[in-house]
Structure 1
């Protein structure tokens, strides 16, 4: 790989890591934000919801936009948007404005993730597999060490630091990307002549609107009812509106020529559908603990942000170390054994959470974190291999997009589950109840993995 390609890889990597880094750093900031803005746990949870909902929408939309306007332009624009959001978010006068800037940040970082891999694939032809593996390290490594970095920053400079820390990454990435990413010749004529109506049809604007408003309304109805402790008529109406809009979204997607989420593909390929269902459950389980454990450590056990970040590092390091070993194992044995071991480890970690009490040494939480870290490393490789095994080659691009959608739905559902279980206050009793629910989910994953192993076919569960 020549020097220019190495610098191109670094410039893209510094940009794409911002999305997973910012999605994971916030895990350690939840208790601090709750105290600063004097809000209950369910309201503060919107700092997580907003980021993942915006990412789930922005990434596929920006992927389509890059075909028209050019990947270089989308990448550089994403850096500018991320810079503005990171600069203004710490200056938010209230929590509402913080959510707005958090959404803007999610859109900006998603712009880079949507085109980053494509830029590497197109412009780095020498040792491309190595280049793509380095990109994966940027993505997975940033997510893994995010809580540690967040804990250190918040301990020394409080919560605004987790936004300001993005600025040097953005500046370095922009300067390098401006010099190293080659200029493209996108379909500029098509882009100039395309009407708003045609553009909205291409990105399925009605589907996006139905999905977003329906999901947000349902979340508001459910979380408001849990936070207040009773179901009011307003909560019920808002929740029902959300369900109706989501039902309308499903009907629309089945008829749309260019659907936001191609639901017809799920119906046509049931084996691939089940892989996505399992991947969604995996993410529900993983992210419930990923965001739940830092709050438990800080709000129940009164551990500092710095110590919480160090403890969470055991999850990230176990995940990073496991992934390459999992790749070699899965290449030889296929995805089924690794996914079964992963499900067993997640069950162990969930049961361990249930057995904790308020006098259990805090360091013992590392056992659960290590179990989830190893399982996450196995899942990162195993679920992707299972997807390729179950998806016809001619739709692998669509399948990969659906796979990422399943990831985001899992993260959104994990935040919803945590918010419903905890209500307005994060408590030890609620944390144990969360552990019980996650144990049930983990056991269901074992059942799925065993059925896959017994049948030898992903379609027969």
Structure 2
């Protein structure tokens, strides 16, 4: 009866969904728009490749931390309040970031931006679960797809604009999206109901351990360019185990690790999403720099070249969706994985003297793979989990995406530490080929038929 009352409060459900979609695309757009701007930012602030890697990976670490936290805060204080607060933080950071006098200030603004954009997805999902009753799971899946595929447009948008307006334009792009989302949300989303003001239970130790866990893994991965550091590795493993055992005993944990251990197939969905995101973002991150520094393209041309990935990833999404509806998950996901292996393998087949059309074709193949795997992986999750589990499942899916992004940025920092060259591009390709091969067994496990499912 309560659900029915909530639904009756909504006059324009489609406008609510539009407001949420506009909000959630801000995070993926801002993770990738910066990729084409990296050479200009590196030159402006005289940064090393490790500094650039820190600028990127810190955004992902903050996002991975605040996504589940924002979900809990929105449940406690109100989804609309947290959603609008997130938009305000993104506005503030987007206004001040272009005025950055140094790397530290820019890092701070990106941190605020990450906090703000991270609030939008969990709060948005909570709003859908409260006020949108018709085709709720399909709406949630659609929002999740937009939050992923929109990342592919970032390099193209920034590449077309940076050429004439400089790197700061990537922050001003946010304002039309923010303003439209804010107006729709303020007008169309019902006000939060007053709740009993019981104190919010902060899992401070869990948050700190999770932050330390992600940081340790990032430091360990970036230190691999100097060889395998046993001490750093053992410390990272220790922190990981400590986090797991601490959260397992908490009644209200920051990350519900018991949910993951009790649902191995769901855990493998997250693992697969991490691997798919790692490949996708490693290319989105490394290719603009490679195209500008090795193939000597300007930022506009590099952005247009990145259309190869974004355009074909987005075109493949509805095709894969219909294919999955007719054939189930296994065949489309397996085909996406095989095409991905082909695409990553062909990265070895071009260099600084190659024809740009050939490079475009190779990157297009990886885009086709990403479109099929991304939508297939996300929809497979919602086919497994119950309606009651969709909230926690969606939050953990986004956390998985940022773990993949962190791994990709660490790979970028390690492989391009000695410079952007064809040899280092091939080194990244070797790692991505190994990762793409691992997707095959995850697809087989996720799509196997269990009794009772």
TM-score (norm 1): 0.87
Contact 1:253–1:263 under 8 Å retained in 2: yes
User: CA 1:274/1:436 → structure 2, altered by over 3 Å: closer, same or farther?
Assistant: same
User: Does residue 340 of the first structure (1) align with residue 334 of the second (2)?
Assistant: yes
1:100 maps onto 2:100 in alignment: no
Alignment pair present for 1:411 and 2:405:
yes
Please, which of 11, 32, 41 is the counterpart of residue 24 of structure 1?
Answer: 32
Contact 1:63 1:114 in 2 (8 A): yes
Matched residue, 1:86 = 94
Q: In the alignment, what sits opposite 1:266?
A: 260
- Partner of residue 5, structure 2: none
Separation in structure 1 between the aligned mates of residue 302 and residue 214 of structure 2, nearest angstrom? 32
Matched, 1:45 2:53: yes
In structure 2, do the counterparts of structure 1 residues 55 and 150 end up closer, same or farther at CA, with 3 Å as the change threshold?
A: same
Alpha carbons of structure 1 residues 442 and 256: separation in structure 2 relative to 1, 3 Å: same
Count of aligned residue pairs for this structure pair: 443
Partner of 2:73: 65
Aligned: 1:282 with 2:266: no
Question: How far is 1:393 from its partner?
Answer: 6.1
Distance in 2, matches of 1:260 and 1:285, equals: 28
- What is the rounded CA distance, in whole Å, between the counterparts of 1:128 and 1:222 in structure 2? 39
Per the alignment, do residues 385 and 176 of structure 1 end up closer, same or farther by CA in structure 2, a change over 3 Å counting? closer
Structure 2, unaligned runs of 5 or more: 1-9
Match of 1:216 in 2: 215
- Inter-partner Cα distance in structure 1 for 2:134 and 2:330: 33
Q: Which residue of 2 aligns with 1:119?
A: 127
Aligned partner (choices 1, 20, 24) of residue 12 of structure 1: 20
> Any residues of structure 2 matched to 1:30-429 within 5 Å, and which?
30-125=38-133, 135=143, 138-140=146-148, 142-187=150-195, 189-190=196-197, 193-194=198-199, 199-200=201-202, 204-220=203-219, 222-223=221-222, 226=225, 241-391=235-385, 395-429=389-423
Distance 1:286 1:239, change over 3 A: same
Q: Is the 8 A contact 1:314 1:366 kept in 2?
A: yes
Partners in 2 of 1:211 and 1:303 — Cα distance? 40
What is the DSSP-based 3-state SS (H/G/I as helix, E as strand, rest coil) of the residue aligned with 1:199? coil
Query: Match of 2:317, SS?
Result: helix
1:83–1:170 CA contact under 8 A, matched in 2: yes
Question: Contact conserved, 2:288 with 2:302, CA < 8 A, in 1?
Answer: yes
| Contact kept? 2:141, 2:382, Cα under 8 Å | no
Alpha-carbon contact 2:272-2:443 (below 8 Å) kept: no
Cα distance in 1 for partners of 2:240, 2:157 equals 37
Q: How far off its partner does 1:352 sit?
A: 0.8
Partners of 2:345 and 2:156 in 1: CA distance = 25
Offset of residue 114 of structure 1: 1.8
Greater relative CO, 1 or 2 (CA 8 Å, sep 6+): 2
Q: Secondary structure at the match of 2:193?
A: coil
How far apart are 1:28 and its partner, in Å?
Answer: 1.0
Distance 1:339 1:134, change over 3 A: closer
In structure 2, do the counterparts of structure 1 residues 58 and 311 end up closer, same or farther at CA, with 3 Å as the change threshold? Answer: same
The verdict on how the C-alpha distance between 1:182 and 1:285 changes in structure 2, with shifts beyond 3 A counting, is same
Looking at structure 2, the residues matched to 350 and 130 of structure 1 have their Cα atoms a distance apart, in angstroms, of 31
Residue 365 of structure 1 and its aligned partner are, at CA, apart by 1.7
Q: Could you tell me how far 1:131 is from its partner in structure 2?
A: 5.8
- 1:344 deviates by 0.9
Secondary structure (helix, strand or coil) at the match of 1:45 reads: helix
Equivalents in 2 of 1:101, 1:309: separation in Å? 24
Asked if the contact 1:452–1:458 (Cα under 8 Å) also holds between the matched residues in 2, the reply is: no
Q: Whole-Å Cα distance in 1 between the matches of residues 388 and 134 of structure 2?
A: 25
1:69-119 residue CA offsets vs partner (Å, 9 max, x unmatched): 111111111111111111111111211211111011011111122212332
Question: Is the 8 Å Cα contact of residues 68 and 396 (structure 2) preserved in structure 1?
Answer: no
SS in 1 for 2:101: coil
Q: CA 1:125/1:395 → structure 2, altered by over 3 Å: closer, same or farther?
A: closer
Q: Which residue of 1 aligns with 2:430?
A: 436
Q: Distance in 1 between matches of 2:340 and 2:17?
A: 34
Query: Pairwise CA RMSD of aligned residues?
Result: 2.8
Distance 1:261 1:298, change over 3 A: same
Q: Any unmatched runs of 5+ in structure 1?
A: none
* CA displacement at 1:129 relative to structure 2: 7.4
Cα 1:117/1:266, change in 2 over 3 Å: closer
Question: Distance in 2 between the 1:451 and 1:84 partners?
Answer: 44
- Quote how far apart the aligned CAs of 1:128 are: 5.9
State the distance in 2 between where 1:410 and 1:140 align: 12
Partner of 2:6: none
